[in-house]
A and B are shown apart, each in its own frame.
Chain A
Amino acid sequence: MRFFCFHLMPWAHLPEDFAERYDSAWVTCPNTLYDPQLGHPLYNRYLDELELADQLGFEGICVNEHHQNAYGNMPSPNIMAACLARRTTQAKLAILGNVLPLYDHPQRVAEELAMLDVITQGRIISGMAVGTGMEYFSYNINPTYARERFHEAHDLIVKAWTHEGPFSWDGKHYRFRYINLWPKPYQKPHPPIWIPGSGSPETMEWVAQQRYTYMVLPTLAPFELRRQSAQYFRECCERVGYTARYEQIGWGIGVYVAETDEQARREYEPHFWYYARNLLKTPAPLSLPPGHTSLPTMLTMAERRSRSRPGNLNTWDEVERGGYVVVGSPETVRQRLEDYAQRVGFGLLVANFSVGNVPSELTKKSMRLFAQEVMPKLKQVNSDAPLAAGAVA
C-alpha cells in the first residue's frame, strides 16, 4: 500500500451554535465568520502538518479545491502546492484536484501544474475534478455543461502537456488559436492523473477507459457505499479489458490514531461532530444543481444522499458501524485498514488526519503514531508488481 496524507484545511472557528443559526457552510455562509487574524495561524499550522507528513515518510501530501465555504479553505490548490513545493523534499504533491469546468482558460491549469512539476523535479500528481455542485453556484458555471467542460478541458490540458506547440484548439467550450505551453511538465509524458469521484458511474467508466487512478469519495460516507463504488470501478476496468492495479484505486478516509481505542475516540469525537454537523451542512439544491450529474445518476443520488448524509448521524456508534472513519489504537487502525483494503482492493490510502476543529498537537501525534506503528505493517498489503518499463502509471 502507498500512503498519502490529505488535508481539507477547514475553518476551525465557527460559532458554537452554527448549525442552528445557519443553513449552509457553503456559497451563502456569511464571510463575516471568517477572521484573517485567526486564518493566518490556521493556514500555517495546516501547512506545517503537511510538511510533517513529508518528514514522516508519507509518499505524498494532498490538497484540494473548494470555493466560498467553511469546509475547506483552499480556493486555489495550486497556491497551496506552491507553498509546499520548496518546503518539502521527498513527498509527492497531489492536487486533488483542480476543478476543471470552473475555468475558461484550462491552459492556466496546465501551466501552473507544469510550473510546479518543473520546480519540484516531477513530484506533482494532477487530480482533475468535476467539483461539487456548490462550486457551480459560486462561480456561475452552468451545471448542464459540467461534464462536457470537464472532458474538453481535460483533453486540452493533456494535449498541451504532450504535444508540440503551438497548436490550435477549436472545441465547443474552449477555442484558442495558440496553445503553446511554457514550461512543459517535468514528468513524461505528463504528471499522473487522479480523478476524485463520489460514485457517478459515468465518471468511473471514463476513468477506467483512460487507465487513470480513481479516488473514492466522498471521504465521509459509509464504507459499504464506497466499497460498491470501488467494485463498480474494477468492473469498468474489466470491461475495458484489463484488471485494475491496486494503486489505481485511492481510498480517501478520515484516520485518527491514539494510544488506546478509548483515548482515540475521546480525542477525536468532538471534532468529528464539528465537521459532520457544521462543515458538511449543505442544502440539497446547492449540492445537486441540475445537470451536474446525468439523469440516471441524479435519480439514484437523491436516494443515496438521503441514506448517507453524515449530517443524519447522531451517535458515535452509527459512525463506527457505518465505517465512516477509522479511529483507534495503532493496532485497531491497522486491523480496520487491512480489512478494508482486502475487501475493497485499494492500494492508495489517502488519509485525512485532521478533522474539524481538532488541535494541531493531536493531529501531529496521530500522524506520528500512524507513520511509526501502522504504516510499516500495511506496506505489503495490496502492493502492485512493478510496472513494465515505459508503461504509464
Chain B
Amino acid sequence: MTGAALGAVALAQAHGLGGLFAQSFMRNAFVAGTSIAAASGLVGYFVVLRSQVFTGDALSHVAFTGALAALAFGVDVRLGLFVATIGVGILMGTLGPRGRADDVVVGSVFAWVLGLGVLFLSVFTASKSTGNGTAGVSVLFGSVFGLSAGQAWVAAAVGLGVAGAVVVIARPLLFASIDPAVAEARGVPVVLLGLGFLALVGASAAEATEAVGSLLLLGLLAAPAGAAMQLTTRPFGALALSGGLAVAEMWAGLFTSYAVPSLPPSFCVIAVAAVVYLGVLLGTGGRRRRGRRAPGDGATGARRRGAPYDGNPRTASSSVR
C-alpha cells in the first residue's frame, strides 16, 4: 500500500501538485487515508454482500461513544475506539441469530450507545474547563488533516492488518455469506466467521473514524462496495475493485479538499464516493435491464434472491426461540 501511496506521490508531482506533499499534514493524511480506505473498501464489500450495512452503521456510531468515553475518562482515544467497536461488534453477533444481528436489536442497542456517547460528551466538555468544544465534532466528522506522523503510521499499519485479514478469510467468508446452510454442512465455521468478520468491521470502523469521522465512515464502507458489485458479478473481482475504488475516492477527496480549503476533507471523500456510485448506478442501469433476459444472469439473480440469508434470520429466530 505504501507502494501505491508512492505511486500517488509520483502522479501528483507529474501533475504539478508537488507542493502538496511538501506539507507534512498532507503526507500524513495520504499515508493514513490510503490504508484506511483500502481496509474499508475490502470490509465494505462483505458488509454489503451480507446485508450488514445497518450493523456497520451501528458500529460506526459506537466508535463515537468509544472515543468520547476515552476522552471523558482521560484514556487514549484509540484504545476507547477499538475496545468499543470490536467489543460491540462481537456482542451484536452473539445477540442476533447465526452471527447476523436483527434490525431492531441493532437499532436499539445502537441508539442507546449513542445516547451514552452524548452523556460522555457532556461529561467531557463539563470537566475540561479549558474547553475543547470541538472534540465531539472532530470525532463525528473526522480530522484527517490533523493527524500527526505517528498517528498516521499506526493508522496505516492497522488498516493494512485489517485488509490482510479480510483477504485471508475471503474465500470461506464468501461461501458462508452466500450460502450459510451449505457452508455449515461442508464444515465451514459459519458462526465463528460471522463473529470474526464483525470484529474486523469494528476495527475498520475505529480506524476510519480518524479519517472521515464516525458519522461518515458508512459512506466509505457502502459506496465503493455498492459500485463494485454493480460493475462486476465476480466476487473476487468485486472485492478488489471495491478496495481500489475506496482508495481512489479517498485520494480524489483529499486532493479536492486541498484545492478548495472551504470544503472539509471528509465531506469531499464521501461526496466523491457517492458521485462515483451514482454514476455507476446510472451507467449500468440500462445495461442491466437489457441484459435481464440472459439465461445466466437470470439464474444468478434467482439464486441470489432465493439465498437462505435473505429470510434466514426470521426462520432461524422462530425455530430457535
Check if A and B associate.
no
